[in-house]
Amino acid sequence: MVCYSQRRRFLFFLLIVISILTQACLPMKIPTIYDGQKYGVKEIQLKGKKKKLKQLDRPIPDENRWMLPKYHKKYEDLEVLLKKSNTTSFLVLKDGKVLYENYFNGVEQGDITQVFSVTKVITTAVLGIAIQEGKIQSINQPVSDFIPAFKEEGLEDITLFHLVQMQSGLAYDEYKRIFQTLKFYHQKDVRSRLNAPKLKHTPGEKFIYKSIDTQLLGVCIEQAVGVPFSEYVSQMLFSPLGFEDPVQWSVDSKENGQLKYYGGLNISARDLAKFAQLFLSDGRVGEQQVLSPMTVSFCKDNNCRNNEGAYCNGWWYNVWDDDRDVFFGAGFKGQIMMINHTDDVVIVRLGEKKGGVKWYEMLKNLSVEIGKMDKEYKVNTEHQVAHSK
């Protein structure tokens, strides 16, 4: 009787799961970094001169100095770790120059892959540009100024700041409602998901990570600037940076062509690193101010971050080390764009999967050791110069 009862409970549970999936019409395809090739993309037309990254003739710190002990025991060296952890691109910049660069698992220099939620920091940066240009009044402007559906009671209180900080209060949850998340990702008409929003919390009350907030933000920006987002981001951000490789932006479907502002950027490791370098050069490329100082320094104010202090403006912040200013753009399956502002280091790690590696901690360690090695190098150089006189 016990076995029969257990079997009935199992069958009942199975029927519920099947029912949920059927009603949700959920595509059970796990997203990949090559999805842009399957579902359609918008080609970003770049203009201007391509700018090549310069090389830094210096070795990367030895693995003993930064690799977590359990990985150092498991893998022979950095290249073995990267190859076996499903990494496709690994690039390190120090002072804006390439310290280390390598590609694996079928990806070569110049190839582009989808970086998922790393895209969010591009979208929030474009918001900063639109504010700087006066296309948007301020980060506190109501969403209802751009999307009529948000003029309803309760929704009219949602501002662009709430979208940027994932505090809209909308009934979405990226982590706790995985079926909803996958359905939103595979939605063939994403605009239809934005026209009937439901409020769960008071705007500004609670941080809940959800991509719909960034999708709404992108729609607001496009409405404000009066031209397609793809044209605006090329003109105001990508072209001034001198991107050297193609750039594409995944869309919800070929029929609708709505950009996935929250996670559809397809970009090379080199060009992603160029964007990251903006946050180490006060938003400047040469003499041109591409990002305003306000955009670059926005998250330096802890009051702008969520209650845990870890998320701001699309970035995840290092909260375990008070000595260094470290933040990440992070995407599904281990897409990482890390900036160590204290040591002037950028690290880009892209891959098919995380590969079971604690990337955030280890890349932070690597960036710190690069900073230490740079100081050692400068001291040794000064000694050599002094002895040569």
Q: What is the pLDDT of residue 388?
A: 66
Structural domains of the chain sorted by starting position, each given as residue range(s) with its CATH number in brackets: 112-331 (3.40.710.10)
Rounded mean pLDDT of the chain? 89
Report residue 308's pLDDT band, with 50, 70 and 90 as the boundaries. Answer: low
- Please check the confidence at residue 26 and state whether its pLDDT lies above 50: no
Q: What is the pLDDT of residue 305?
A: 63
Q: What is the pLDDT of residue 152?
A: 86
pTM: 0.90
Q: What is the pLDDT of residue 18?
A: 45
- Please check the confidence at residue 363 and state whether its pLDDT lies above 50: yes
Q: Kindly report which listed range (77-81, 144-148, 199-203, 302-306) carries the lowest average pLDDT score.
A: 302-306
Report residue 5's pLDDT band, with 50, 70 and 90 as the boundaries. Answer: low
- Please check the confidence at residue 345 and state whether its pLDDT lies above 70: yes
Please state, in angstroms and rounded to a whole number, the distance separating the CA atoms of residues 366 and 185: 33
Judge contact between 339 and 317, C-beta under 8 A. Answer: no
The gap between the terminal CA atoms of the chain, to the nearest Å, is: 93
Q: What is the pLDDT of residue 7?
A: 54
Judge contact between 371 and 93, C-beta under 8 A. Answer: no
- Residues linked to residue 97 through DSSP beta bridges, in sequence order: 94
- Please check the confidence at residue 234 and state whether its pLDDT lies above 60: yes
Report residue 183's pLDDT band, with 50, 70 and 90 as the boundaries. Answer: confident
Report residue 11's pLDDT band, with 50, 70 and 90 as the boundaries. Answer: low
Judge contact between 259 and 114, C-beta under 8 A. Answer: no
The vertex-238 CA angle with 245 and 146, nearest 5°, equals 135
Please state, in angstroms and rounded to a whole number, the distance separating the CA atoms of residues 198 and 70: 46
